Structure 1
Amino acid sequence: MKRLKVTLFSRYSRLGPSTRLRSLQYLGELERRGIDVEVQELFPDSYLEDLYGGRPQAAKYTAWRYYGQRIAELMRRREHDLAWVEGELFPYLPYGLEAMLSRHARPYVVDYDDALFHKYDLSPSPVIRRVLGRKIDRVMARSACVIAGNPYLAARAERAKAGRVEIIPTVVDEQRYPPVSHENRAQPVIGWIGSPATEHYALDIRDVLLEACAGGAARLVLVGARPEVAARFEGVAVDVLPWSEATEAALIADMDIGIMPLRDGPWERGKCGYKIIQYMACGLPVVASPVGVNADIVRHGENGFLAADDDDWRRALRQLIDSPELRARQGQAGRRRVEDHYSLASQAPRLADVLRTAEAG
């Protein structure tokens, strides 16, 4: 079997979660399977540091420079067998320009782990909706294969008349997440992991979390939220901790119950449930909103609970806080689910096969 040469046109480097999880974490496994990947990122870490560090205007001012660098990379004569594109080559450029430049990146597969198309077709700007509303559909249609992180994204690709669509969920490297148990802990930890951009989901169930933790019944840990969010949970034990790739697995391993509240909207239906998978990998039971792929990952009553409203959240958290045995049983079931379907080991062979067959046509 010949070695396959692939150029990955990613949006970010390792600091970008979508890039890290959907492509970069697979590179070692792909190399062992005869697939060599050269990474060409669009935005470096400095761009994300400006974007999320309170300097969004600085990030915008430098973005066009990175576009120029990508154009130069595309114009280089390449000998790759296949291009692997994260979402699109040039965010917010019209499809005509992207198509002209993408002639240097064919054949290509394109990967989606969120509803990127809704940034355009549901934009509040009528200009963006008119100029870019169908851009991602056209990118999908001209690809050799669309790799979708969940059925919602796959359905969009099928409506766009993509020639081939494969669902590969977002996964964890299960070796980084050893399962844990804190059965004798007097004060269980309810944990959430995310970013300042998603902390509003945790705040949506603030009153429920305050009730669950009242009187010291449980402690709340929020990883990746802004420090000032702690003031919204006055009166209960709460820690707001910074996120880093190096510490995230250990921080989750110190939790007892993982939560993923979501609103039921088009953008949320495109999410890939990564928080849930991280919790389950550590052997935690989960409570999650039954939105999008969450309802596929969580088997209600077996590896966690699906909570559609505040009363559901109260009941689920109370059961898990009160019963170490239930936490352990559901956590073990969640870990098995990750190993079988949401792990690097289970999905790397599928991804390798998709890349090889896409190149072969």
Structure 2
Amino acid sequence: MRKQTSLVTVATYGAAGSSARVRIYEWLRFLNLTAVQNDYLGGRENGLGTLIHGLPRVISAESNLRRLSKQLSTSTLLMSREASPFSNGRLESSLLAKAGHGIYDFDDAMFNARPTMPKKLWSKAKVWSAAVRSADTVIAGNDYLAEHAAKLRNDVVIIPSCVNPREYIPKSNYSLNEIPTLIWMGSPATEHYLQLIAEPLLSINAQTRIRLIIVSAGCRSLGQLDQIVERVNWSAQTFGSVLAQADIGIMPLDKSLYAQGKCAYKLLQYGAAGLPAVGSPVGANRAVIDSMGGHCATNNQEWEQSLRDLITSAVADRAALGMRARDVVSRSYSFDCWAELWRRTTGI
């Protein structure tokens, strides 16, 4: 039986925060590992309003992190992205350097982040570079991220953002809903990508009514898209079943340098549910879509055509795409596939 190393995790979100959940907490749960968890305020976001209203807890979290740096000499530290929203990298560097084994995990192109005020005061790019330089081992979510990290640190390992297909109810009926239904699952911070394809979505809706289910914690208006949107609050209890109720999954992205680092996690979730998908061929999306036999769309015309093709295709064709996607996820992007490397990399 494997003896577990003392493990400490650091993230700025709790299990409701998408990145920390996928990159840390779901690994702990999947492998049945225990850890001393430091999750700052423990919520799903650290917006300015949340931080101001939780000021006493913010002060406590900052104090705890500084004490933690003195207690890590015999522990493995697994850090996701950053330790504090009020850091320029010095804190992350100290924690990782003082750990018995410091592991830094990231799944976004933080080195390309261009924040607006007031977050501009705390540079994510500086946090990223300091953490990568100070870690013993770096885990990157895809090739693009690993390539940049390798410029600063030799020991870089690629482990994608994995899913557990057993937690998703696979789609079994590929006949279209009475109103063809698209679905997008993600965080409020990335909902703006949906507005990139408002024109093709509304064009299709004008001729063939469609519905867009947004599974998120957000509630903001998406302008003209609101007429076709149905919001479902993300829940750990229901996310695995809601996808199968839709007909097509979508993942639009822009062509920014930041988006180049995306890990295609939405597409993997759609695949785990056996859902045909359309996505922008940006970041890891292209490789995932190609492996699934899905549809890439680079502009409004291609988005409209790809969605129309799936809506009008034969039931058997949609089923074949969905089942192929689930098979690809199971064989190439599941926790089962990557568990051995994750354990070997972390030493846990």
Q: Same fold (TM over 0.5)?
A: yes
Give me the whole-angstrom Cα distance separating, in 2, the residues matched to 1:72 and 1:83.
14
Residues 133 and 347 (structure 1 numbering): CA distance in 2 closer, same or farther, change over 3 Å? closer
Q: 1:8 to 1:327 in 2, by over 3 A?
A: same
Amino acid at match of 2:78: W
Is this contact kept in 2: 1:223–1:243, CA < 8 A? yes
Q: Which deviates more from structure 2 when the two are superposed, residues 272-281 or residues 244-253?
A: 244-253
Q: Percent identity over the alignment?
A: 30
- Classify 1:144/1:308 alpha carbon distance in 2 versus 1 (closer, same or farther; 3 Å): same
Counterpart Cα distance in 1 of 2:50 and 2:17:
17
- Residue correspondences, number: 345
- 1:3 is paired with a residue whose SS is coil
Give the alignment of 1:93-242 within 5 angstroms: 93-119=87-113, 122-123=114-115, 133-160=125-152, 162-185=153-176, 186-224=178-216, 226-227=218-219, 229=221, 232-233=224-225, 237-242=228-233
SS in 1 for 2:266: helix
Aligned-residue offset at 1:304: 1.2
Offset of residue 280 of structure 1: 0.7
Distance change (3 Å), C-alpha of 1:188 and 1:182: farther
CA 1:132/1:149 → structure 2, altered by over 3 Å: closer, same or farther? closer
CA distance in 1, matches of 2:118, 2:167: 44
8 Å contact from structure 2 (residues 132, 138) kept in 1:
yes
TM-score normalized by the length of structure 1: 0.85
The one-letter code of the counterpart of 1:157 is A
Residue-by-residue CA offset, 1:278-337 (whole Å, 9 max, x unaligned) = 11111111100111111111117x531010001110110011000122211111111111
1:26 counterpart residue number: 27
Residue aligning to 1:320: 310
Distance in structure 2 (CA, Å) of the matches to 1:132 and 1:245: 28
What is the rounded CA distance, in whole Å, between the counterparts of 1:215 and 1:314 in structure 2? 12
Is contact 1:191-1:252 (8 Å) kept? yes
The aligned amino acid for 2:38 is: E
Alignment correspondent of 1:296: 287
* 2:257 counterpart of 1:266: yes
Q: In 2, Cα distance between the equivalents of 1:316 and 1:60?
A: 48
Q: Secondary structure at the match of 1:308?
A: coil
> Could you list the per-position Cα deviations for residues 116-160 of structure 1 after superposition, in whole angstroms to 9, with x for gaps in the alignment?
2334xx446799689875442232123221100011210111112
User: Which letter does structure 2 place at the counterpart of 1:321?
Assistant: I
* Aligned mates of 1:132, 1:252 — CA distance in 2: 32
Matched residue, 2:41:
44
Q: Deviations over 1:210-237 (max 9, x none)?
A: 12233444322122274453762366x5
Please, which of 241, 249, 269 is the counterpart of residue 240 of structure 2? 249
Question: C-alpha separation between the residues in 2 aligned to 1:316 and 1:348?
Answer: 35
Q: What displacement does 1:347 show?
A: 1.4
Which stretch has the larger CA shift, 19-28 or 274-283? 19-28
Specify the SS of the correspondent of 1:240. Answer: strand
- Kindly report the root-mean-square deviation, in angstroms, between the aligned alpha carbons of the 2 structures: 2.9
Instruction: Pick the aligned partner of 2:267 from 249, 270, 276.
Output: 276
Alpha-carbon deviations, 1:11-45, whole Å to 9, x = none? 322111111111111124434xxxx5413223233
The TM-score with structure 2 as length reference comes to: 0.88
Unpaired segments ≥5 residues, structure 2? none
CA-to-partner distance for each residue in 1:338-358, whole Å, 9 max, x for gaps?
0011111111122011112xx
- Closer, same or farther: CA 315–200 of 1 in aligned 2, 3 Å: same
